[in-house]
Chain A
Amino acid sequence: SQQGEEDPQALSIQEGENATMNCSYKTSINNLQWYRQNSGRGLVHLILIRSNEREKHSGRLRVTLDTSKKSSSLLITASRAADTASYFCATDDTGGFKTIFGAGTRLFVKA
């Protein structure tokens, strides 16, 4: 079964708006990662947050991690049409080195 569950499953916003995606997971983790995937292509690593970190920024991306709630959020500010993609969270659990992906959020940014 997938480690992470994400919501919403799909999100449609206007260019310039902010987009927030959430991810929940079940077991203890070493870190949590967010990836972007354009249709039918490979995944691109966006940001990694370690289990002892609470917030991390990278450009227009802001990730938070709440290990007590086993949840994370990805915020994309000032969205652009080029941000249209699927976004996946992924976790490395403390039991090994395998990365397990959540179900993903499909983001549509309308110009």
Chain B
Amino acid sequence: DTEVTQTPKHLVMGMTNKKSLKCEQHMGHRAMYWYKQKAKKPPELMFVYSYEKLSINESVPSRFSPECPNSSLLNLHLHALQPEDSALYLCASSQPGQHYGYTFGSGTRLTVV
């Protein structure tokens, strides 16, 4: 088990649905991240929250919106997704300024039908 918990593990949604992915960590890390990973490709950074400040990958469409209710939680709200958004969505956390690398969750496998 990792110390970053993602729910749900699997999600199937229609293109008109609204859903949310959740991520939680209790390591006191002050930075949390959402990555998207397609099959046989590396993870691509979508959003970063560091000390509650949001940074966005400009290429991410607006149908994805992150929310950081507190320093331990990170949500990813999904709305009007397309089939090409089907992927593994990974959450990670780290402590900025510390050279310990990232801790990843197990991911949410999202299928858009």
B is bound to A: yes
Interfacial residues, chain A to chain B (CB-CB below 8 A): 2, 30-31, 33, 35, 40-45, 48, 50, 88, 90, 96-104, 106
Instruction: Report, nearest first, the 9 A-B pairs whose CB atoms are least far apart.
Output: A45-B101, A101-B42, A42-B104, A42-B106, A43-B104, A48-B101, A33-B101, A42-B107, A101-B43
Contact check, A2 vs B42: say whether CB atoms are below 8 A apart: yes
Write the B1-41 contact mask toward A (1 if CB under 8 angstroms, else 0).
01010100000000000000000000000010100000011
By a CB distance below 8 angstroms, the chain B residues around A102 are 42
Contact check, A41 vs B55: say whether CB atoms are below 8 A apart: no
Contact check, B99 vs A48: say whether CB atoms are below 8 A apart: yes
Question: Given that A88-B42, A98-B48, A101-B43 are known contacts, is A45 also in contact with B109, CB under 8 Å in the complex?
Answer: no
Question: Given that A40-B88, A42-B90 are known contacts, is A50 also in contact with B99, CB under 8 Å in the complex?
Answer: yes
**Closest A residue by C-beta to B88:** A40
Write the B72-113 contact mask toward A (1 if CB under 8 angstroms, else 0).
000000000000000010101010100111111111010000
Question: Given that A42-B106, A102-B42 are known contacts, is A97 also in contact with B90, CB under 8 Å in the complex?
Answer: no
A30 to B96, CA, bound (A): 12
By a CB distance below 8 angstroms, the chain A residues around B41 are 103-104
Contact check, B31 vs A43: say whether CB atoms are below 8 A apart: no
Interfacial residues, chain B to chain A (CB-CB below 8 A): 2, 4, 6, 31, 33, 40-45, 48, 50, 55, 88, 90, 92, 94, 96, 99-107, 109
Given contacts A30-B99, A48-B101, 12 further A-B contacts (CB under 8 A): A40-B107, A41-B106, A41-B107, A42-B2, A42-B104, A43-B92, A48-B99, A97-B31, A97-B48, A99-B45, A101-B42, A103-B42
A45 to B2, CA, bound (A): 11
Contact check, A44 vs B99: say whether CB atoms are below 8 A apart: no
By a CB distance below 8 angstroms, the chain A residues around B6 are 42
Among candidates A48, A96, A97, A98, residue contacting B100 with C-beta atoms closer than 8 Å: A48
Contact check, B45 vs A98: say whether CB atoms are below 8 A apart: yes
**Closest B residue by C-beta to A96:** B55
Contact check, B109 vs A99: say whether CB atoms are below 8 A apart: no
Among candidates A31, A50, A98, residue contacting B55 with C-beta atoms closer than 8 Å: A98
